[in-house]
Homo-oligomer: A and B are copies of this chain.
Amino acid sequence: MTDYTKIDTYLEENLDESIAELSRLVAQPSVGAQNLGMRECAALVAGMLKKRGFETRIVDTPGAPVVYGERKGKSDRTLLFYDHYDVQPAEPLELWETPPFAPSLRDGKLYGRGVSDNKGHIAARLLAIDALLAEFGELPGNVKFIIEGEEETSSTNLHPFVRDHLELLKADACIWEFGGVDHREVPIEYLGLRGICYVELSVETAAIDVHSGLGGSIFPNAAWRLVWALNTLKGPDEHIRLPGFYAKVRKPSARDIELMAALPETSEVYQEQYGIKGFIKGLTGGVEMRIEEVFTPTCTICGLTSGYQGPGSKTVQPARASAKVDFRLVPDMDPADVLEQLRAHLDAEGFNDVQIEFLGGEAPARTDPDDPFIELVCNTARDVYGVEMQRIPLSGGSGPNAPFIHDLGLPVASAGLGHPDARGHAPNENVRLDLYVKHARHMARLMVAFAK
């Protein structure tokens, strides 16, 4: 059994320098939604890889460039890290205690936009590599990095990039960009992500808004058309009415249910955290609710807009109305199916005046909870965290894991340095230095064990 004393000592001794490197990375804004600093940040990340002896390239896409790097190791086993250098917008700026792009260290945490999501993961993983190189003079196995710049804006160009670079990205397993500990300090291993199909539905019934005294009795009303069309998608029984919608839904396995049953109760946490008074579908908590939370597809109205929305009253019949709607998809659903079903359903229900704009989609994808790589990630975490990793078979969120699982054929495991108060996507995003070091320790152990 490998003795990690020297490696752990290296990580502690080089923490300050690694945090200084992370601070430089965070100080380079890379806000995809605002197209701010993307090329500069890609170059910075590529430089970080080169510094560790990685063969590096920056590949242009129709959007932000992808940074790719690889370094050969002792064995021919290859571990692929998926990360991203883009960050969420920092707004609202006034809620930050220190400026988002001027990283600030206090109370054992580094604050700044992207410090946790996802730049901290890049820096901590490179710190682990530094430790391995210092200890062994080489990497125990091959390591590849794919670091994209569009994760926060739907990874629009990642799927084609992966399909076009199957040979380059060939590996034996993949570590996902995120992860972390829950409120009990137990590290979580997500094994899959739901898919998504995001659309904007819109109706236009006139060229201009009409006085409601005139149009109310005889003109079509875009807002009413939208409400009625939406109502055909799902009623208060929460059943999604698109014909064929549930056809490819795979029920959770006995093993999934076992893993879901092992998770902590969250109903009170949710009620406190979000101020909700109760749950839908008669749910009250327990394993039944946890399974429903991730193993059922959804149809969510994310936004509605039409006509007059200011203070007081304005008597207007709106010419236009639109809704943002997302469908979260479980294995083995396909966003392309949902788009087709949606069009067919709206037409069949008499709403061919409702336009559908496709705003993005991801297929759902998951790795077997008992895949040997998942076991390995858990086993290598044990002596770092002192507790068993908690495997969650499916996350409610979505991300671009499908091309890694289905096109590259890799097992994908999440392990990371997040914590419940890390505030990803929000002001005062932060990373805890203790978890930063733990993640580096975990990744060093994983790279050693995986190469064997």
Contact = CB atoms under 8 A, between A and B. Distances in A.
Interface in A248-286: 270, 274-281, 283
The 5 closest A-B pairs by CB, nearest first: A207-B275, A213-B397, A216-B298, A223-B301, A303-B307
B218 A279 contact: yes
Contact of A305 (B206, B299, B305, B316): B305
A38 to B, nearest CB: 16
B227 A231 contact: yes
Contacts of A305: 304-306, 309
A308 interface: yes
20 contacts: A154-B313, A198-B315, A205-B277, A212-B300, A216-B396, A217-B298, A218-B280, A218-B292, A219-B280, A220-B279, A223-B323, A224-B300, A227-B301, A300-B315, A301-B306, A302-B318, A303-B316, A307-B324, A308-B324, A313-B326
A406 interface: no
Interface string A334-352: 0000000000000000100
Interface residues on A, range: 35 or more
Contacts of A200: 313
Given A216-B299, A218-B283, A223-B304, 8 more contacts: A212-B326, A214-B293, A223-B301, A236-B350, A302-B308, A303-B308, A304-B307, A305-B306
B196 A315 contact: yes
Interface of A: 33, 153-154, 194, 196, 198, 200, 205-208, 210-221, 223-224, 226-228, 230-231, 234-236, 270, 274-281, 283, 289, 292-294, 296, 298-309, 312-319, 321, 323-324, 326, 328, 350, 359-360, 395-398
A296 to B, nearest CB: 5
